[in-house]
Structure 1
């Protein structure tokens, strides 16, 4: 499972747009779900990989009872800087780290969690192997991934709209990376390659994505993800014009006022037996 290098770059103003618009739009419901699952495992040490701007970190910090060591890592220092600036309700060790080369000793954590990050790993099996190495026997790897783009309404509208705006070279980041790895069989195989021997548990969760106006999801996707770089690289419509076109398309589908769209993701957990 490979992605282009630029797909994993969240820099410049992207972290701020991501946290302000995309997090409440699509990430918060799944962050709360993942945090509940982590808390139900009653861990003493938790590692989060691909923590981004810290939406899951903050949810886990709220959900965990008592003293728990919580380490949050991400490849992108800019995302971690923003996460640390926002902070959490309990102490968190924020640390830049590559999921393919985790800087932690063997058997250090009871839970390794990852929200919507595995799609960005250039070698998923290797990242899973690193997570297994960092897990104690009996520990759990817990992660989620987006379902197909057709099951995620706003992302689908944005992708189709931009295909009309840039007909010769449509930006495909959303379909290629966040929503391009919905085949759970691939993850099952990569978990086995990584050395996990237990059967993974997979669950599909549907939720609703709500915003005050069509402009919010258009801004979130066009300017709060690496889709922004793809738009800015193309001739023709500029970033503002592309964002406006997406907002108009969402309003046409969902109405001129508050908007509401379907989102769907898979949650996978596996024990390190």
Structure 2
């Protein structure tokens, strides 16, 4: 899964937002950065370039992602860690960043409280989260393909997890409850560019938990053909450019 995720999804979906988030981080002139849910390291690499004087510690719950990311972004110190129980002392960092990871935290209140604990007074928490599924052209087209392939029981991973924390008012409320002062929270739309919709479909269907849902239900190649056909109808053939919307938050401890 890390290989498919890195090859097919990172350049299209995640690199544009990683460059944006790293630039926002660099403006804060951090010296000690903790990254949560680092995945394969696309934001990690951007951070080490944008803030070369900072010490970057990258973490992920998944050991396979940690191993993959450590090889891809060796400029950071990599550790396996649960965001809800961070293995770091109080006030150890002046910036905590997270790209499209907070949606996956089972207990966001616990995770945000832990982030607040490991930040020095005045430190910042900088992260993004996807907007509603309808505002992400690639994901919406893929979900439509899944609903066509499984009209009675389509996989619900995309609308309920990656796009399931898409109410900025709720996000701000959760931050405040954890002791943060919300400094910034706004909508950001960037464009993703893919060589083909087939590449994006391959990434979602083999490099995310959607893969397990399909394996439980039906024949993978047949499903992929249906999904690609639906995505092509919606987004077109050949190289594809499509808008993707996220929310960016910055909060102070």
Among candidates 142, 157, 165, match of residue 181 of structure 1: 165
- Pair 1:145-2:145 in alignment: no
- Pair 1:218-2:192 in alignment: no
The aligned residue for residue 246 of structure 2 is 265
Instruction: Assess if the C-alpha contact under 8 Å between 1:251 and 1:259 holds in 2.
Output: no
Instruction: Assess if the C-alpha contact under 8 Å between 1:43 and 1:110 holds in 2.
Output: yes
Among candidates 108, 132, 148, match of residue 164 of structure 1: 148
Among candidates 22, 32, 36, match of residue 45 of structure 1: 32
Q: In structure 1, how many angstroms separate the alpha carbons of the residues matched to 2:7 and 2:153?
A: 29
Instruction: Assess if the C-alpha contact under 8 Å between 1:188 and 1:200 holds in 2.
Output: no
The aligned residue for residue 135 of structure 1 is 119
Q: In structure 1, how many angstroms separate the alpha carbons of the residues matched to 2:17 and 2:142?
A: 21
The aligned residue for residue 120 of structure 1 is 104
- Pair 1:36-2:36 in alignment: no
Instruction: Assess if the C-alpha contact under 8 Å between 2:44 and 2:73 holds in 1.
Output: no
TM-fit CA distance, 1:251: 1.5
Q: In structure 1, how many angstroms separate the alpha carbons of the residues matched to 2:64 and 2:109?
A: 26
> How many pairs align?
253
TM-fit CA distance, 1:33: 0.6
Structure 1: gaps of 5 or more residues: 1-13
TM-fit CA distance, 1:16: 0.6
1:5-63 CA distance string (max 9 Å, x none):
xxxxxxxxx11100111100100010001101111111110000000111000000111
The aligned residue for residue 81 of structure 1 is 67
1:141-191 CA distance string (max 9 Å, x none):
001000000000111111111112112211010111001110011111111
Normalised by the length of structure 1, the TM-score is 0.90
Give the match's secondary structure for 2:241: strand
Give the match's secondary structure for 1:199: strand
What is the 5 A alignment of 1:5-24?
14-24=1-11
TM-fit CA distance, 1:254: 2.3
The aligned residue for residue 231 of structure 2 is 250
TM-fit CA distance, 1:127: 0.4
Q: In structure 2, how many angstroms separate the alpha carbons of the residues matched to 1:263 and 1:241?
A: 27
Among candidates 38, 49, 56, match of residue 43 of structure 2: 56
Q: In structure 2, how many angstroms separate the alpha carbons of the residues matched to 1:175 and 1:126?
A: 23
TM-fit CA distance, 1:224: 1.4
Q: In structure 1, how many angstroms separate the alpha carbons of the residues matched to 2:227 and 2:48?
A: 35
